[in-house]
Amino acid sequence: MSYIIGIDLGTSNSCVAVVEDGKSHVIPDTNGRKVQPSVISFYPDGSHVVGYEAKTQMVYNPENTVFSTKRLIGRTFSSSETERFSENMPYKLVKGSNNAVMVEAQGQIYSLTEISSLIISHMKSIAEEYLGEKVEKAVVTVPANFNELQRNATKMAGDQAGLEIVRVINEPTAAALAYGFGQGLEQKVMVYDFGGGTFDCTILNLSGDVFEVLSTAGDTFLGGDDIDNKICQLVVNSYKNNFNIDLTKDPLAMLRIRYEAENVKIILSSEKNAQMKIPSLAYSDKGAVDLNVSLSRDNFNVIGKELVETTFEVCDKALKTAGLVAAEIDNTILVGGTTNIPLVRDMVQLHFGTTPFWGVNPEEVVAIGAAIQGAIISGATAIAAGADGENQEPMADALLLDVTPLTLGVGTLGGRVEPLIPRNTPLPTDQSKIFTTANDGQTTVRIRVYQGESEFEDENEQIGVLVLNKLRPGIRGDVQIEVTFEIDINGIVNVSAVDLDTGQKQAVRLNLVGKHNIDESDMMSNDATAPQVR
């Protein structure tokens, strides 16, 4: 029996699940643990370890222990997020070809895709160990607000791990699927997905077996990590004020604080007070300075409040796009470890006026949803088989109707972006545009492609360059090429082109930013600085 597993590749933690004998469940590792830290530690001999072992290495081997790479996957080295990130991270980031972000550990350079693929491999082995057979296919999840580069890089990470990624689905949609599959609900739900590194709010309409996304909004740089950072900030400030020591100059100290901060945050979910103790955190002229502070839940709430308010701005945007008010939402589903924090739950209840639903485990629900989708694709709706093994009436398959989160556009004159496919367009979708040459005899046309909501290029994310080459040479404006941009059900962009005069297919390629692209014709052609489209 070939299983399709569901993998939730999270910023801080990853989870793998499968549908077995008609029931979906998380696959634990040999120690019975259901989530695995998304951490890799590299040893001097070139070997590496993933998960809990790696996490303990964070303190002993900070420069060679890599974590939270999901915050960077698909980004460029020169982006502001990368800069912000590298200031806070103890491991080294280097620039790769095509402005890609690479990680350096134990003298070796790894791409972010490789790092993610090592984590996926780890989840794959856990699954294979449990199921007792080779696993070849998987459904992998991404934040709803991930752009083309981030989705592509994630899919490639799966390929590199030796898995065929049959579908990439959005985390909130997967959560909604886990919540509503087989329940025959007629509800409007809001998924509030607050993970380690990202925040997504998705509004869905559930109608029995159809899960239609009405709108989605998010922030791919807002997560539980930021709460940890705020706690770290408190400690740093107090040390500056009391002992005149600047802890930010000491990466090991910062790491130890962050490690403790995360623990304290988790403790404060169930306790009213927590101690942060780090012996010999820093050294002053008077000797070693230990860290010994207690943090109350009330203090913590003051810190976290502002971040949670930011999430509400995102939710309101999603509601507005869907044309709904909070009162029309039947249920709010909480997803992501950060929603375990009582502050978050209380504020969600206050803001939306309804008690959020937390019958599903917020850390496992996404993987479970992915596993269910995998089962649907493999046709294993032996989900129909009852507990007694007899085939009852087949449960209706579920159908996910998702949308694209970001507007897709092309660069035009004056540094502007012309939108082609607006955000929240239901998928699959396509849109065509006719391009032509600006100069006589031009055989290559290059068009910059963007995702984002601004009308200006620099405020959007450039995802790549559309290259039309081997064009029929002619008078400028004579050659008319109709390019069709398609976004498929994975939310991934595909392009095709047709020469309108001949009706023949035209060679076209979308060269994504941050990927090493081989382009021989670029090396041969003499219009490397080909002018923009007219």
Partner 1 sequence: MQVRILVVSEDVVRRQFFTEKMTESTDYAWEVVPLADDARRMLGERYDAVIVDGDRDASNKINLCREIRSYPKNASTYVVLFGSVSADKMTPQVLQNIGVNAFLNWPIFSGKLIKTLQQLLEGETLPSMKEPDCGAEKKFKSAPKKAASPPADIPAEDAKALGDPPLTVDELECIEADRYRAIMQFSKNLDMVDYFQIMGLERTAKSTEIKKRYYQLARRFHPDRFAKVTQKEFISRVYAVFKRMTEAYQILSDTDKRRAYEYNLGQKRSKENLRMKKAAMETKRSGPRQDELQIRNTNARKFFSLGQKALAEGNPSGARMNFLLALQQSPGDLVIKQGIEKVDALLKKQKESKA
Query: Counting beta carbons within 10 angstroms of the beta carbon of residue 282, is it exposed (0 to 12), middle (13 to 18) or buried (19 or more)?
Result: buried
Task: Supply the minimum distance, in Å, between the C-beta of residue 359 and partner 1.
Answer: 24
Residue choice 128, 430, 482, 527 for contact with partner 1 (CB under 8 A): 430
Residue 475: DSSP 8-state: S
Pairing outcome for strands 101-105 and 92-95? antiparallel
Residue 137 dihedral angles phi and psi, to the nearest 5°: -125, 150
How far out from the chain centre does Cα 43 lie?
27
Identify the residue among 53, 298, 328, 440 touching partner 1 (CB under 8 A).
328
Is residue 182 involved in binding partner 1 (CB under 8 A)? no
Q: Is 426 in the site for partner 1 (CB under 8 A)?
A: yes
Confirm or reject binding of residue 518 to partner 1 (CB under 8 A): no
Shortest spacing between CB 409 and partner 1, in angstroms: 11
| Interaction between residue 395 and partner 1 (CB under 8 A) | no
Residue 25: which H helix or E strand, with range? strand 23-26
With contacts defined by CB under 8 A, how many residues of the chain interact with partner 1?
33
Residue of 29, 114, 148, 193 with catalytic role: 193
d(CA 24, CA 210): 19
Spot the catalytic one: 8, 114, 363, 402.
8
Amino acid type, 209: D
Question: Which one-letter DSSP state was computed for residue 27?
Answer: P
Report CA dihedral (391, 135, 113, 59) to the nearest 10 degrees. Answer: 100
Is 193 one of the annotated active-site residues of the chain?
yes
Instruction: Say how far apart CA 257 and CA 260 lie, in whole Å.
Output: 5
22 binds partner 1 (CB under 8 A): no
Of 29, 114, 148, 171, catalytic: 171
Choice between 96 and 491, CB closer to partner 1? 491
For the bound state, the minimum distance from the C-beta of residue 105 to partner 1, rounded and expressed in Å, comes to: 39
Q: Which of 234, 377, 382, 492 binds partner 1 (CB under 8 A)?
A: 377
- CA dist 15 and 367 (Å) reads 6
135 sits near partner 1 (criterion: CB under 8 A): no
Stretch that binds partner 1, among 136-144, 156-164, 348-356, 454-462 (CB under 8 A): 348-356
Strand-strand pairing, 287-296 and 48-50: unpaired
| 287 contacts partner 1 (rule: CB under 8 A) | no
For partner 1, which residue of 395, 401, 438, 500 counts as binding (CB under 8 A)?
401
Considering beta carbons, is residue 402 or 461 the nearer one to partner 1? 402
Closest approach of partner 1 to the CB of residue 186, in Å: 11
Collapse the DSSP code of 413 into the 3-class scheme (helix H, G, I; strand E, B; otherwise coil) and give the result. helix
SS (H, E, C) 121-160: HHHHHHHHHHHCCCCCEEEEEECCCCCHHHHHHHHHHHHH
Angstrom CA distances, 186 to 179, 182, 207, 403, stand at 13, 12, 5, 20
* CB nearer to partner 1: pick between 325 and 528: 325
Please tell me whether residue 65 adopts helix, strand or coil conformation: strand
| N-term to C-term CA, the chain | 55
User: Can residue 406 be called a binding residue for partner 1 (CB under 8 A)?
Assistant: no
Tell which one of 425, 454, 517, 525 touches partner 1 (CB under 8 A).
425
User: Tokens 């350096």 identify what position?
Assistant: 104
Kindly state whether residue 1 participates in binding partner 1, applying the rule CB under 8 A. no
- Annotation marks residue 70 as catalytic: yes
Contact segment (CB under 8 A) with partner 1 among 83-91, 245-253, 270-278, 394-402 equals 394-402
Instruction: Examine the residue annotation and report whether 309 is marked as an active-site residue of this protein.
Output: no
Closest CA to 295 of 274, 270, 311, 310: 274
- Closest to partner 1 by CB, 101 or 203: 203
| Residues constituting the chain | 534
8 is catalytic: yes
Contact flag: residue 376 with partner 1 (CB under 8 A): yes
Q: Considering only residues 54 through 93, tell me which ones interact with partner 1, judged by CB under 8 A.
A: none
Does 500 interact with partner 1 (rule: CB under 8 A)? no
Q: Hey, what are 140's tokens? A: 């992998």
Which of 151, 224, 175 minimizes the C-alpha distance to 366?
175
- Tokens linked to 224: 């539980």
Of residues 351 and 472, the one with the C-beta less far from partner 1 = 351
CB 87 to partner 1: min, Å = 34
Closest C-alpha among 216, 225, 181 to residue 84? 225
Q: Give yes or no for residue 488 binding partner 1 (CB under 8 A).
A: yes
Q: Which is nearer to partner 1, 470 or 505 (CB)?
A: 505
Burial 327-339, CB ≥16 within 10 A → b, else e = eebebbbbbbbbb
Based on CB atoms, which residue is closest to partner 1, 378 or 480? 378
Q: Which stretch binds partner 1 (CB under 8 A): 132-140, 204-212, 286-294, 354-362?
A: 204-212
Q: Which is nearer to partner 1, 98 or 381 (CB)?
A: 381
Q: Assess 394 for contact with partner 1 (CB under 8 A).
A: no
Q: Compute the distance between CA of residue 83 and CA of residue 62 in angstroms, rounded to an integer.
A: 19
Q: Which is nearer to partner 1, 9 or 347 (CB)?
A: 347
List the one residue from 465, 489, 492, 500 that touches partner 1 (CB under 8 A): 489
Residues contributing to the site for partner 1 (CB under 8 A): 207, 209-210, 212, 323-328, 350-351, 353, 376-379, 397, 399-401, 420, 422, 425-431, 486, 488-489
Q: What residues act catalytically?
A: 8, 70, 171, 193
